[in-house]
Amino acid sequence: MSSYLALLGAIIFEVMGTLLLPATKEFTSTIPTIAMSASYIASFYFLTLALKTIPLAIVYACWSGVGIMAIAILSYFIYGQSLSWQSILGIFLIINGVILVNIYSTNP
């Protein structure tokens, strides 16, 4: 499996787990809690696969940056949460940071 596909899988499962957090109702709702936990475990598993060829700093920057962007967008549609223009600017800067990290990384 390509390391970048593994990283994409890690991002998808991390976003899924984070979006399930409100559904756990502070870990009192069993099924969402199990699904959230499984999502985070899968995310970390895929992160280890991505680390086979991509440096940790690059993996973590992409995982967290793209995850933040995806969660912000999906929480708008799923939970009706809005973002201020300052938050949108901050997310835009994070995305640019992830792009710069990937462009200028020395990947063995």
Task: Give 50-60 pLDDT, tens digit per residue.
Answer: 999 999 988 99
The verdict on residue 32 lying in a domain is: yes
The verdict on residue 108 lying in a domain is: no
DSSP 25: T
Average pLDDT value for the chain = 92
The verdict on residue 45 lying in a domain is: yes
Total domains, the chain: 1
Label each residue of 30-68 as H, E or C.
HHHHHHHHHHHHHHHHHHHHHCCCCCHHHHHHHHHHHHH
Task: Report whether pLDDT(105) > 80.
Answer: no
pLDDT above 70: percentage of residues in the chain: 96
Domain of residue 62 covers 3-103
The verdict on residue 91 lying in a domain is: yes
